[in-house]
Structures are given as C-alpha cells and as structure tokens.
Structure 1
Amino acid sequence: MDSLGSSYRAVVIGATGGLGQAFVEHLRNDPNCGDVAALSRNSEPPIDVISEASVASAAAWLRERSAEWDLMIDATGVLTIEGHRPEKRLSEIDPAVMARGFAVNAIGPALLLKHLTPLLPRTRRCIFASLSARVGSIEDNRLGGWVSYRASNAALNQILRTAAVELRISHRQLVVASLQPGTVATRLSAPYRSRAPEVLTPEYAACRLLEVLDGLEREQSGEFFDYEGQRLPF
C-alpha cells in the first residue's frame, strides 16, 4: 500500500481465517508496512469479538505495542452457526441462532470500532475496514432468504456508516470502508461455492481489497465497495 506512507502499522482481526491469513501475508510482504499485529481467538493475546472485555484487553495490548495504528482490518464473520445454515424461508428462523449471527457479524465489529479507533492517528491518513457481504445490501435483495445473515450484514454496514460520520470530526483523514470480497475459497463459503459464478482465492481477494482501500479518498468514507472497487448500494 502506498497511500499510508512508509512504516505504517496494521492490525488484522480474524487473522487465522482464510482471508485474514491472506491479509496478514500480503501486509508482511509489503515493504511500506512496518508492523503487522495478527489477532484472533488463538493469538497472543487472544481476541473474541463477542466479548467486550477481550476486545478491550487486545486494544490495551496494541496501545502498549504502539500508540498509533494506521490500518485496521476486521476479517471476522460467520455464516453457518453451530451447524445451522442460512434460512431459506421465514419459518426456519431460530432466534438463538439469529442472535449469535448478529453478535459476531454486527456487534463484534461495533466493539472493535469502540475500542480500537482511539488508536488511529488523528492528523494523517488511516483506514478502518470490515468485511461485509453483498447480500447485506437491502437495495440489491431480489431473492429473499438468508434472513439472519442478510440482516446482520446490513446492520454492520449501518454501524460502519455511522462510525464514519462520527469519526470524520476527530479523524479528518480517516477512511471507514465496508468491503465485499466476493465468493472466496474459505471455510465460511465452502458449503455454498458450487452456485457461485466465480470463486476467488484468498490471496487474490485480499490483494484486490487492499488495492481498493489504497485508492479510496476521504470523501468515500462510510461507503460499501466490492473487490473490484465498485461502490455497492446499501
């Protein structure tokens, strides 16, 4: 990445997932990147995005490592929950499963924004990005189904947009972005890839998404983009 200058510091949350690992690898190979913190439930320290105490503890650890971090990528998310696949119809809604999906896909990123954004620099360009899904677009919903997953990603998009509005006052060069990585060959998409017109490798998707982030302007903060850089409707 060139837009963050030399020796920028990056954090990847969800670093043991398919896309998370790919982000970490690309960033560690970037000569402009001075440090990469790869956080997950299995890292040291561990981070569990549905536990505020865990998120706060990870934020404190990051602050001890460096006072400022220039790039934060949230690569967490869940689709199949404890063996429950996305609902095909309203009659299949399970409130406990739905709540779990919201906890991971929407509340978790909100907690990351709460505890990690104070570590972003206030006087230079910085980026906070979170992986979302095209099916989270309300305007683009033509097929129905997948109620919980659609709704939790729509909530995520709204949380990111709201954060962008608030933080533009304190962090004038911050870009907050919601990212649609496409269908990627990861464990999350494994049961559903057969119907996808195109399946991307994690390495390719991560590379393209970093290129998209690198090219975003401050005025585009709070918007929703796919891996080709196209703005998606909310």
Structure 2
Amino acid sequence: MMNNIAVIGSSGTIGGAFIRKLSELCPEAQISGFSRNKPSSTIANAKFYEIDYTNEESIANSAEIAAENAPLDLVIVATGILHNEAFMPEKSMKELSIAKFQEIILANTIFPALVAKHFLPKLAKDRRAVFAALSARVGSISDNQLGGWYSYRTSKAALNMIIKNLSIEMKMRYKQAIIVGLHPGTVDSRLSKPFQANVPAGKLFTADYAVAKMLEVINTLTPENSGKCYAWDGEEILA
C-alpha cells in the first residue's frame, strides 16, 4: 500500500503518465507532482508544485512539502535531457564541448543526486519504500557497442553509480528502502522524436505503456534489488 508518492518531472511526457497511472492505481494516496511549470490538468488526488532544478534550496523545500503529512512510500525522478534547441547528441569526439557536458550532467546526474539527498531521508522507515530515477540502457558501459552520445552516456553511467552508492548508504538505516534506476525503453516523446526512424518495429512505446510496465517492475522489487538498474521488462541492465 502506497500512501504518499512524489513524482519529480510531473509535467513531462513520462512524469505526467506516472501521475495519471499512480492516481488510478492508488486513489487513496497523496500524490505530489513537481516540475518547472505546473501542468494545467487537474487530477483528483494529486497536487502540483513548481521546483527549480538548478536551486538546491528549492529541491529541499520540495522534499519538505512532499513529506509534510506522512513519510514517502515512492519517489519517482522522471526528468532528463538528451538534446535541446542548441545541440544534439555527439556522433564523434569532434562534437564534445564543455557547455554540452555541463548541461547534460547537471540535468541527468547532479539534479537526481540532489533530489536523493533531500527526498531519501523522507522515506518511510517502517515499511517498504522505493526511490526510482529514470536511467537508460545507453548508460551501461558493458552494453556499449556503438559509441557516440558521449555526454548522455556519461551522465547516465554516473547516475547509475550514484544509485549504487545511495543504496549502500541507505541500507544501514532504512532496511526496507529500494533505490533503483529504470530504463523506460524508447518512449514516443520530444526527447526521442529525432531518432524514432531507427527504432525497431514494436519498440516505440507510448508513455502510458512504458509507465505501466515500469510500475510492474517496481512492484516486484525487494531490498535485494536495491542499487541496480532495470529495464521496462524487468531485465537487469548491467554496468
């Protein structure tokens, strides 16, 4: 039973799908959604708040809001960046730049780490609780056969290491806590749009489908799974 849930990145394609599905599955739960801009939609048992991804005080305040009435049972970090109007993923080392690395790593690595810093201490101690951050299969070093995408791959590999570190630290005091990375597959969104032509048939998912599958994975996890990264189908993604 999940009574208190927080979703960070609630205005995004995947974050919004998490809010909708969790509201359906847990109608009695308190759901707090955090994003840079509050979505215009309303959901019966969800409240939405603004968060500044670049401001640690804002992240800390968001954790206080989420856990004001009860400890957290589930925290989902559904944020991330692959490209924007200024740059695309690198095809070769000639495209590396300080600016690109800084922006990608700030969004994909540093921000989730700071969310963990402030939200993990708000998890329930007396029962199972989950902290899950969106990672990616391309963050696996052992699985990398194609190269390219330097900054994005690096940011997700670093996130996976942070998840591992967090799991080790948390198990000393939060015996039932589970900290994992989740790979949603290729979701039909603005992030994947430029690359969808290369996606195999049947492997481009709607956000609702990917979220339903990831929640199925979350429901099967135990503390022994903490510190690992899992794909939407439950397969463990190795480092």
Q: TM-score, normalised by structure 2?
A: 0.92
* Whole-angstrom distance in 2 between the partners of 1:18 and 1:188: 9
Corresponding residue number in structure 2 for 1:221: 226
* Whole-angstrom distance in 2 between the partners of 1:153 and 1:233: 12
Q: Which amino acid aligns with 1:20?
A: G
Q: Which amino acid aligns with 2:218?
A: L
Corresponding residue number in structure 1 for 2:25: 30
Q: Which amino acid aligns with 2:23?
A: R
Corresponding residue number in structure 1 for 2:193: 190
Corresponding residue number in structure 1 for 2:89: 86
The answer as to whether partners of 1:49 and 1:109 remain within 8 angstroms in 2 is no
Unmatched segments (≥5 aa) in structure 1: none
Aligned residues: 228
- Alignment match of 2:182 (pick from 172, 179, 182): 179
Corresponding residue number in structure 1 for 2:41: none
Deviation at 1:33, TM superposition (A): 4.8
Corresponding residue number in structure 2 for 1:138: 141
Q: Which amino acid aligns with 1:195?
A: N
Tell me, yes or no, if structure 1 residue 61 matches structure 2 residue 56.
no
User: What does 1:1-234 correspond to in 2, within 5 Å?
Assistant: 5=1, 7-31=2-26, 33-43=28-38, 45-64=49-68, 66-197=69-200, 198-234=203-239
The answer as to whether partners of 1:14 and 1:40 remain within 8 angstroms in 2 is yes
Deviation at 1:82, TM superposition (A): 3.8
Deviation at 1:32, TM superposition (A): 6.1
Q: SS of the residue aligned with 1:38? A: strand
My pick for the range that moved more, 80-89 or 214-223, is: 80-89
* Whole-angstrom distance in 1 between the partners of 2:228 and 2:67: 28
Deviation at 1:172, TM superposition (A): 0.3
Identity of aligned residues (%): 40
The answer as to whether partners of 2:5 and 2:72 remain within 8 angstroms in 1 is yes
* Whole-angstrom distance in 2 between the partners of 1:148 and 1:136: 10
Q: SS of the residue aligned with 2:87? A: coil
Unmatched segments (≥5 aa) in structure 2: 39-47
Q: SS of the residue aligned with 2:181? A: strand
The answer as to whether partners of 1:160 and 1:177 remain within 8 angstroms in 2 is yes
Q: SS of the residue aligned with 2:153? A: helix
* Whole-angstrom distance in 2 between the partners of 1:45 and 1:8: 18
* Whole-angstrom distance in 1 between the partners of 2:148 and 2:84: 16
Deviation at 1:155, TM superposition (A): 0.5
Shift of the 107–33 alpha-carbon distance from structure 1 to 2, 3 Å rule, reads: farther
My pick for the range that moved more, 51-60 or 196-205, is: 51-60
* Whole-angstrom distance in 2 between the partners of 1:104 and 1:46: 16
Q: Which amino acid aligns with 2:205?
A: L
Q: SS of the residue aligned with 1:12? A: strand
* Whole-angstrom distance in 2 between the partners of 1:154 and 1:113: 16
* Whole-angstrom distance in 2 between the partners of 1:190 and 1:152: 20
* Whole-angstrom distance in 2 between the partners of 1:32 and 1:18: 21
* Whole-angstrom distance in 1 between the partners of 2:71 and 2:5: 10
Q: TM-score, normalised by structure 1?
A: 0.94
